[in-house]
Each structure stands twice: as structure tokens, then as C-alpha cells.
């Protein structure tokens, strides 16, 4: 919703750097209208039966499936993900996956359960404000919206102003699913303008944000006055520990390719690779060879598997941090400053690997959010665990060992919300979230449902404790 004379924000194609459209900035009054609509719809929607809500989710899954290619094209237009290899297969598909997973979980979730003579009832938290990013836009929208709708909450979504097209497709999908009026509302605009309004609004019961530490701190501050529930999924600087008994070729190659996926723009990317000191030269050779498997270019080309950085501001940050890595003395294995050869426009960065770094360097401490990997040598397993945990972040971790059992022993000592063993893929039914400055709360699966409910204890409701 927006007025015809609202200020506009340019929408830029990251593959060319050209302005391809605009999005209207919602005014304060329009944000209030959206919140008021969600609040007005809550009483009725929160009282719908589970079967009714499952029906809405089923309709969304059906409509989303019809629009999957439209969604993928919009994502590529918004943030430059390669259409064939990433937008269709992962970026768009993961949104559909979260709704399908929510459908399954909602049918077995303990909405009511006995606890002795007490009945525990899980009820919708209320009006939920959701603020989502540009890097995995449908992942972050769907993993919030799906459990919220299943729980009986009403929603005001503020998607990234840098990824508006796919959010508009999503709104069209929900419209076709015939949700009751006011249950889902969406406003466009800059997060620094709209985030404080939503976070402080007296009719908003919960704020769920995925974004930067700065944004998380701001949301928490504005929400504090009214003691709102806040869920934050923030940044990461995840360590990838390659143990001495691991298959080095397999482990390093997987780690490099996982880091470079989505042009390195993933909060859980394995951005610090920890390798035994006596194997560092081999790791560098393997990493350089892995980069040759990557094709950087036009995201609409079927040959491309690495697209541009999603926006100019992020591109400039990536370039600055590559320069910092060089200045601080890290060994540049491959890549470096500027665009790849033959790409003279757009926000393309060179996939870059630094090695022989230490954990005090800026490139080992800060989230670069680009296709930049930092390899850090370690002397023994204890020092590897210490280096991995020596970070203000704690989102994800990765361990490669000769056996899963060895990898699991190390994983249990990492201070992170998730750990992937020997290349294990994500699990949409498992909790997603982190320790320390990586956030508060969890998303995905049943844990995602827990964020959108309040638990009521009805004492004496169960006769004879049954």
C-alpha cells in the first residue's frame, strides 16, 4: 500500500547497474493502516480452526507452485542470483519448501497437551511485524509467514526495498489463496524508516527480523518500551574445521564452493576455513582449483553459477574488505579487487581466497557477505575449536572429519546454533538460528512455530490428571 505521490526508491538490476523501476516508500500513516488492518483481523483469524488454516496453507502451496518460475525470475531481477542454477532450484524453491514443511508440522504440533491436571494451550502471539532481507528473500519471508499463518497470527511484512519484485509476487500468491482480509499486509520502504515504526507500534505484539546487528539492535531498542517479543536472525562468521583425518580434496573443494554459493551472500556461509598447518599448501592448491569450477557472469545465462553482488553498497563493502585483507598481510591465493575479466558493468566481484590468515585479522572477524574465503591454519584440534569459538558470532559451523563420529565430537564443542558435518545439507525441519550476536530465537521447523505462539497453562482443566 502506498499513496500515488509517495517518495520512491530506485530498483537497480545488479547485473547491469541500471535502474529498472521504483518502489514507493510507505508513509507513517500507511504503516499504521497496515498494522490496524492486521489488528482488526486478528480476533477472527486467531479463532479459526486448524483445518481452516491448513486449507489456506494448502492453497498457498498450490499457487506458489504455479508461480515458481515467476518467483525465480523476480529473485534474479532483484538480487542477481543465477536463474537456472540457483533461483529456480534453491532461492524460489526454498520458499515453497517452508510452506510444505509448515503444513506437515502444523498437523502434529502440540497446540494443546495435558500436563498432569493442567492443560497447556499454545495460542497465536498476535500481530507480527516481519522485516526481511535481500540475500535469500523468499527463504526469510516464507520461514516467518508460514508458521505465523499456521498459528493464527496476522502479519505486516516489510520486505527489503532492494528485493521488492519477488515480495510482490509473494503477495499475489497470498491474494490468490484467498486469505481473509487483513490477515496479511505488506508495506515497502527503507528499513531504517519503517522498522522503528513497526517495532514501537502499540498494536504489534511481536517483531521478527532478519538482518544486520545494527538493525537487530535498533528493533530491540524500539520494541523494549512495550516489552514486545522479538526474534532476531542476524549475521555470522562461521568456521569450517577440516580435521587432520579428513579427505582434504573433498573437504576443501566443498568448503570453497559452499562459501561462494549465492556470491557469498549467506549469513551461515562457511567463511573461515580452518586447516592443519602442515596441510596449508595443499589446501591452497585445492582451493585455487575449486575456483576454476565457477562461472561468474550474466545470471540469466545457463552457464553461470555465480552472479553479481546484490547491490552497489554491498559491492563496495566487499571491495573494501578485500583491500583490508591485502593490507593486513593475508596471502592472496586467488581473486582480488575489481570485477572478473570481461565484465565491465554490474556489481560483479572476483571469487577470492585468502590464506595464512590469523583470527585477529579483519577478514577473519567481520562478516564480509561476499565471495571471499579466509583460510586459517591451526596447530591442533584444541586450537581449532578455540579459533572457531573466538568470534562475536555463533550462527553456524562446519566440521569435516574422517568419520561422522569424529566430526560430531568436535561439533558438540562449538558455540553455534547449527553445525554441518561432512557436507550435510540444510534441514528445513531443524531449528535455524544462532548464539551470541547471531541472534535471538529460532526459525524453521517446529522451532519456528514456537516463536509465534504464547503458552497458556489452564490449571484444573484435566480431570484426574488426564
Those residues whose C-beta lies under 8 Å from the C-beta of residue 165, and which sit 6 or more positions away, are 11, 21, 74, 75, 77, 78
Closest CA to 95 of 57, 136, 130: 136
Marked catalytic residue, from 267, 284, 443, 451: 267
Closest CA to 267 of 410, 443, 390, 105: 443
DSSP assignment of 94-113: HHHHHHHHHHHHHHHS-SEE
Those residues whose C-beta lies under 8 Å from the C-beta of residue 88, and which sit 6 or more positions away, are 68, 69, 72
Burial classification of residue 373, based on how many CB atoms lie within 10 Å of its CB (0-12 exposed, 13-18 middle, 19 or more buried): buried
Residues in the chain, overall count: 466
Return d(Cα 269, Cα 265) in angstroms, integer: 8
Note if 267 is an active site residue. yes
Q: How many CB atoms sit inside 10 A of residue 432's CB?
A: 24
Return d(Cα 107, Cα 54) in angstroms, integer: 8
Cell 522451532 sits on residue: 447
Those residues whose C-beta lies under 8 Å from the C-beta of residue 48, and which sit 6 or more positions away, are 152
Question: Do 67 and 88 meet the contact criterion of CB atoms below 8 Å apart?
Answer: no
Q: What angle do CA 161, 135, 54 make, to 5 degrees?
A: 85
Question: Do 390 and 413 meet the contact criterion of CB atoms below 8 Å apart?
Answer: no
Marked catalytic residue, from 30, 63, 161, 233: 233
Note if 233 is an active site residue. yes
DSSP conformational letter for 443: B
Task: Cell numbers for 304, please give them.
Answer: 553461470
Q: Which residues are catalytic?
A: 233, 267
Amino acid at each position: 500500500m502506498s499513496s500515488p505521490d509517495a517518495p520512491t526508491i530506485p530498483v537497480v538490476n545488479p547485473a547491469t547497474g541500471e535502474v529498472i523501476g521504483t518502489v514507493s516508500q510507505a508513509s507513517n500513516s500507511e504503516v499504521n493502516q497496515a498494522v490496524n488492518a492486521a489488528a482488526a483481523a486478528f480476533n477472527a483469524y486467531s479463532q479459526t480452526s486448524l483445518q481452516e488454516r491448513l486449507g489456506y496453507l494448502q492453497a498457498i502451496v498450490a499457487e506458489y507452485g504455479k508461480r515458481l518460475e515467476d518467483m525465480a525470475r523476480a529473485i534474479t531481477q532483484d538480487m542477481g542470483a543465477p536463474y537456472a542454477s540457483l533461483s529456480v532450484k534453491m532461492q524460489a524453491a526454498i520458499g515453497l519448501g517452508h510452506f510444505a514443511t509448515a503444513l506437515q508440522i502444523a498437523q502434529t504440533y502440540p497446540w494443546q497437551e495435558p500436563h498432569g491436571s493442567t492443560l497447556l494451550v499454545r495460542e497465536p502471539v498476535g500481530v507480527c511485524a516481519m522485516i526481511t532481507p535481500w540475500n535469500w528473500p523468499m527463504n526469510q519471508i516464507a520461514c516467518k509467514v508460514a508458521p505465523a499463518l499456521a498459528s493464527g497470527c496476522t502479519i505486516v511484512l516489510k520486505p527489503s526495498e532492494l528485493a521488492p519484485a519477488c515480495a510482490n509476487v509473494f503477495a499475489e500468491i497470498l491474494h490468490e489463496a484467498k486469505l481473509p482480509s487483513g490477515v496479511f499486509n505488506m508495506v515497502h520502504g527503507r528499513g531504517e524508516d519503517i522498522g522503528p515504526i513497526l517495532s514501537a507500534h502499540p498494536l504489534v505484539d511481536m517483531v521478527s527480523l532478519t538482518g544486520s546487528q545494527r538493525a537487530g539492535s535498533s528493533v530491540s531498542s524500539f520494541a523494549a518500551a512495550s516489552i514486545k517479543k522479538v526474534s532476531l536472525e542476524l549475521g555470522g562468521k562461521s568456521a569450517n574445521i577440516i580435521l587432520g583425518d579428513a579427505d582434504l580434496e573433498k573437504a576443501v573443494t566443498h568448503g570453497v564452493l559452499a562459501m561462494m554459493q549465492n556470491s557469498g551472500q549467506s549469513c551461515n556461509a562457511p567463511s573461515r576455513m580452518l586447516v592443519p598447518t602442515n596441510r596449508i599448501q595443499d589446501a591452497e592448491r585445492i582451493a585455487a582449483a575449486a575456483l576454476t569450477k565457477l562461472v561468474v557472469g550474466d545470471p540469466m545465462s545457463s552457464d553461470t553459477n555465480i552472479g553479481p553482488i546484490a547491490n552497489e553498497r554491498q559491492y563496495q563493502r566487499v571491495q573494501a574488505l578485500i583491500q583490508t585483507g591485502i593490507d593486513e598481510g593475508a596471502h592472496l591465493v586467488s581473486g582480488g579487487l575489481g570485477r572478473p575479466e570481461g565484465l565491465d558493468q554490474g556489481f560483479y566481484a572476483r571469487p577470492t581466497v585468502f590464506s595464512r590468515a590469523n583470527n585477529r585479522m579483519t577478514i577473519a572477524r567481520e562478516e564480509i557477505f561476499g565471495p571471499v574465503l579466509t583460510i586459517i591454519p591451526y596447530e591442533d584440534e584444541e586450537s581449532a575449536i578455540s579459533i572457531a569459538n573466538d568470534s562475536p558470532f555463533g550462527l553456524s559451523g562446519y566440521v569435516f572429519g574422517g568419520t561422522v563420529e569424529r566430526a560430531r565430537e568436535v561439533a558438540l564443542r562449538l558455540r553455534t546454533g547449527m553445525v554441518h558435518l561432512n557436507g550435510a545439507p540444510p534441514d528445513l525441519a531443524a531449528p535455524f538460528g544462532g548464539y551470541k550476536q547471531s541472534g535471538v530465537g529460532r526459525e524453521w521447523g517446529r522451532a519456528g512455530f514456537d516463536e509465534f505462539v504464547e503458552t497458556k497453562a489452564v490449571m484444573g482443566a484435566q480431570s484426574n490428571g488426564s
